[in-house]
Structure 1
Amino acid sequence: MPKVDAETIVHSIAAETNTPEETVARIYADALDTYRADARVLDYVPLFAARKVRATLRQNSAKPH
């Protein structure tokens, strides 16, 4: 499996969700830390973290302001 570049993932999610990269980077780092704490196999942790960030941002954007 190719090495995943966190900067690329953060940039992609920020563009998709129209969210500042700083915000996405913070949420992504927190998700990575959470998944890494319990993971035995780390290969797919970046994928799971990216999914979590997208879901979190979608959920937050769906809430009424």
Structure 2
Amino acid sequence: MAQPNVEDVVKAIAADTNTPAETVSKMYADTWAEYSDGARVLDYLTVLVTKRVRENLRGVPRDKH
């Protein structure tokens, strides 16, 4: 299964949350760095990072991973 293009993901999140793409891109990069640090399996990282960025932008309370 092909991974979605990061630019496409960022654009979609920006559109869905009415947030500037630059802000979403920075949050995505920061969240990716946090999640990938020490990760052995990266298969679902795009999905997890995308979900976290959307939640952060929507102000959804979340548990620490």
Which residue of structure 2 aligns with residue 57 of structure 1? 57
Calculate the TM-score normalised by the size of structure 1.
0.86
Which has a greater percent of helix? Answer: 1
- Deviation readout 1:20-57 (Å, 9 max, x if unpaired): 00000000000111111032110111110000000000
Give 1:3 deviation, angstroms. 2.2
Where in structure 1 are there 5+ consecutive unaligned residues?
Answer: 61-65
Aligned residue pairs total 60
Can you give the 5+ residue segments of structure 2 that lack an aligned partner in the other structure? 61-65
Amino acid at match of 1:32: W
- Larger mean CA deviation between 37-46 and 13-22 belongs to 37-46
